């Protein structure tokens, strides 16, 4: 069976041609006599006309067509009669007068309409092969392909080699939980699926690859979100003999190319740089959405000697007091206030202090504790006016910032629903967040832990601090952020084995045997002339979602898992047979508490 054209190809100039089309029946309009069929394939839609006066036996078959039947049509292209053209269709000037019709395969009635949005996602996932027929989904797959091509071409032009790294890897229990794969040939031993190709790409630099990239599948056995899947795709990049600026330049060019080639949108480069401290102080997060205000202001000094004990004690304990003005949100509901409070509490705050500016007065459970000077400072520095809502955080610096950061985002959602704030998806605020602390305290750890990963190099001028005040050392790490979403991150790596070794043993205080067994080959590799190097990884799924304006990365992945990590179409994950388990030397748990 041959097609002469696709269903999106025919134009007025093709009138008179004898053609063959094949595709799916997207709709039928059966007038009893004449029958119209919208024939859809990957490329578009063409109207086919069956006229019983001209081809009675063909029209007879056409009466039996139903949605999603697969058919082949032969016929003649004709200009549509004046007044019946369809301007909303690329092929709307013409139609195909059918002279032949073959039903290649009938179809059951689809479980959901393919021409409507808003269908239950669970159902769409169960019948993903039907869902992907919908033009919006087909377009997402096509755009993803084009983006991948653009990425490969762009990086190739800059001298990068695409190199594959193993999927069966060794477990490195730092970081995200891993998927384990039992080894049949090595009883009792396991591979792990890589959470990223991190170590391999550094080893490729030691190997002299100089410029590596990979569109790499990564695996993390963590709880899912709208923007997190158990397997996802990274654009993974690593380079030798470079500084941070070189990475910025490569990635800015890459991002610019992708947006240009897939969306025809021009992006301004270079991207602005924001320090971690600035981002936290101003937006309460290390991945700020800077398209709107509601920025945080520090009132630590204002409340240092306040008679409001909550604030005063927080400051006395070395913490801070921060606040922001949710402009125009005084009409917030009691339920929403409660939501915000729960959000703050869930994040470790004891509560959430607020002030409504309404009817010319401050309505708040706490305002009676405030002095005139404190009120004046708030009014002036927050530009508080009628109809505003002021929200406070008082805690250790990180906690206060983070709580208000979450509250700020939620307030923006409320304000957007009220039509008072707009987060325009066409406004693309790319920026780099830089100067992260190299190390941070972790409540579950006695020692400092790496803020990102333990291969990140310290900022050169902070090196002397590493022994004395390690918490103050900045890492040569950078995140690429777009509209409140972390698109990716990377760093300049440690390339000297003694520095890496010292970091593992003296700073992170990992036991010697752990360093040897887990990272021994890395430390060893650095001893054999490892070049200075660094890299980055971008979340390809997130990038595609932002590129196409989808809320969830599931909409840019052909066969995603649901929020429980299940494939509801195939039923994965599924139980293994006793024989399978025995072969891989895995004993199942039996009974409760086993």
- Of residues 69 through 88, those in contact with RNA by CB under 7 A are 80-81, 83-86, 88
- HSE, CB side, 13 Å, CA atoms: give it for residue 108: 5
| Residues contacting 245, CB < 8 A, separation 6+ | none
Q: Contact, 303 vs 312, CB < 8 A?
A: yes
**Beta strands of 56-168 (E only): which ranges?**
70-79, 94-105, 161-162
**Number of residues in contact with RNA under rule CB under 7 A:** 72
Please give the residues from 209 up to 238 whose contact with RNA meets the rule CB under 7 A: 220, 222-228
- Of 16, 118, 188, 360, the one binding RNA (CB under 7 A) is 118
Q: In whole angstroms, how close is the CB of 19 to RNA at the nearest point?
A: 16
Q: In whole angstroms, how close is the CB of 289 to RNA at the nearest point?
A: 12
- Of 9, 138, 167, 174, the one binding RNA (CB under 7 A) is 174
Q: Contact, 532 vs 492, CB < 8 A?
A: yes
Q: Contact, 168 vs 205, CB < 8 A?
A: no
- Of 244, 408, 453, 495, the one binding RNA (CB under 7 A) is 453
Q: In whole angstroms, how close is the CB of 82 to RNA at the nearest point?
A: 10
Q: Which of 259, 519 has the CB closer to RNA? A: 519
Q: Contact, 132 vs 235, CB < 8 A?
A: no
Contact call for residue 445 and RNA (CB under 7 A)? no
Segment near RNA (CB under 7 A), from 108-116, 203-211, 323-331, 500-508? Answer: 108-116
Q: In whole angstroms, how close is the CB of 353 to RNA at the nearest point?
A: 19
Segment near RNA (CB under 7 A), from 146-154, 234-242, 372-380, 450-458? Answer: 450-458
Closest CA to 434 of 534, 321, 547: 534
- Of 32, 264, 529, 593, the one binding RNA (CB under 7 A) is 32
347-386 footprint of RNA as x/- string (CB under 7 A): x---------------------------------------
Q: Contact, 402 vs 285, CB < 8 A?
A: yes
Contact call for residue 451 and RNA (CB under 7 A)? yes
Segment near RNA (CB under 7 A), from 31-39, 143-151, 323-331, 505-513? Answer: 31-39
Contact call for residue 449 and RNA (CB under 7 A)? yes
- Of 9, 89, 132, 586, the one binding RNA (CB under 7 A) is 89
Residue found under tokens 């913490």: 319
Nearest 5 degrees, angle CA 74-CA 80-CA 81?
A: 135
Contact call for residue 134 and RNA (CB under 7 A)? no
DSSP 117-136: S---HHHHHHTHHHHTTSHH
49-68 footprint of RNA as x/- string (CB under 7 A): x-xxx------------xx-
- For residue 41, count CB atoms less than 10 angstroms from its CB and return exposed for 0-12, middle for 13-18, buried for 19 or more: buried
- Of 39, 40, 47, 412, the one binding RNA (CB under 7 A) is 47
Closest CA to 207 of 528, 535, 534: 528
Please give the residues from 328 up to 347 whose contact with RNA meets the rule CB under 7 A: 342-343, 346-347
Cα distances (Å, whole numbers) of residue 512 to 439, 500, 520: 20, 13, 10
Residue 383, token pair as written in the block: 């530009």
- Of 564, 573, 583, 588, the one binding RNA (CB under 7 A) is 564
CB atoms within 10 A of CB 364: 18
**Beta strands of 327-395 (E only): which ranges?**
354-358, 361-363, 389-395
Q: Which of 111, 187 has the CB closer to RNA? A: 111
């Amino acid at each position: 069976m041959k097609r002469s054209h696709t269903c999106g190809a025919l134009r007025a100039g093709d009138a008179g041609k004898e053609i063959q089309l094949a595709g799916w029946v997207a709709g039928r309009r059966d007038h009893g006599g004449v029958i119209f069929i919208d024939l859809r394939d990957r490329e578009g839609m063409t109207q086919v006309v069956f006229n019983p006066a001209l081809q009675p036996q063909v029209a007879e078959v056409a009466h039996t067509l139903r949605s999603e039947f697969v058919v082949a049509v032969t016929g003649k292209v004709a200009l549509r009669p004046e007044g019946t053209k369809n301007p909303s269709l690329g092929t709307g000037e013409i139609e195909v007068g059918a002279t032949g019709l073959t039903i290649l395969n009938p179809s059951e009635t689809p479980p959901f309409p393919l021409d409507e949005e808003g269908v239950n996602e669970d159902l769409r996932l169960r019948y993903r092969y039907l869902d992907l027929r919908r033009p919006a989904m087909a377009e997402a797959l096509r755009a993803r392909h084009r983006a991948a091509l653009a990425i490969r071409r762009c990086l190739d032009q800059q001298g990068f080699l695409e190199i594959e790294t193993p999927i069966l890897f060794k477990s490195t229990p730092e970081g995200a939980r891993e998927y384990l794969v039992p080894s049949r040939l090595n009883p009792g031993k396991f591979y792990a699926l890589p959470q990223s190709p991190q170590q391999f790409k550094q080893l490729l630099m030691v190997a002299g690859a100089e410029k590596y990239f990979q569109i790499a599948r990564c695996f993390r056995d963590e709880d899912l979100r709208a923007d997190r899947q158990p397997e996802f795709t990274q654009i993974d990049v690593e380079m030798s003999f470079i500084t941070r600026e070189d990475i910025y330049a490569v990635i800015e060019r890459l991002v610019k190319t992708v947006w240009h080639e897939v969306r025809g949108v021009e992006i301004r480069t270079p991207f602005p740089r924001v320090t971690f401290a600035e981002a936290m102080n101003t937006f309460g997060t290390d991945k700020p959405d800077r398209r709107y205000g509601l920025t945080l202001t520090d009132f630590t000094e204002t409340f240092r000697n306040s008679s409001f004990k909550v604030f005063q004690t927080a400051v006395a304990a070395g913490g801070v007091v921060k606040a922001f003005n949710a402009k125009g949100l005084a009409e917030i509901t009691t339920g929403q206030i409660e939501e915000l409070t729960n959000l703050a509490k869930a994040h470790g705050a004891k509560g959430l202090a607020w002030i409504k500016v309404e009817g010319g007065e401050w309505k708040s459970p706490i305002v009676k504790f405030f002095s005139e000077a404190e009120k004046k400072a708030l009014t002036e520095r927050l530009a508080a006016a009628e109809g505003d809502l002021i929200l406070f955080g008082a805690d250790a610096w990180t906690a206060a910032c983070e709580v208000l950061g979450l509250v700020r985002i939620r307030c923006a959602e409320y304000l957007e629903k009220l039509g008072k704030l707009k987060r325009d998806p066409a406004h693309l605020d790319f920026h780099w967040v830089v100067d992260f602390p190299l190390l941070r305290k972790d409540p579950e750890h006695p020692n400092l832990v790496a803020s990102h990963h333990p291969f990140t190099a310290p900022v050169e001028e902070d090196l002397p601090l590493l022994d004395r005040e390690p918490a103050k050392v900045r890492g040569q790490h950078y995140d690429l952020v777009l509209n409140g979403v972390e698109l990716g991150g990377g760093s300049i790596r440690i390339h000297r084995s003694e520095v890496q070794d010292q970091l593992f043993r003296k700073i992170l205080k990992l036991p010697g045997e752990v360093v040897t067994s887990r990272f021994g080959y890395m430390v060893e590799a650095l001893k054999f002339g490892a070049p200075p190097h660094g890299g980055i990884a971008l979340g390809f799924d997130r990038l595609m979602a932002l590129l196409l304006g989808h809320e969830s990365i599931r909409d840019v992945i052909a066969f995603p898992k649901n929020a429980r990590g299940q494939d509801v179409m195939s039923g994965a994950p599924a139980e293994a047979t006793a024989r399978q388990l025995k072969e891989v030397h895995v004993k199942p748990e039996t009974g409760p508490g086993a």
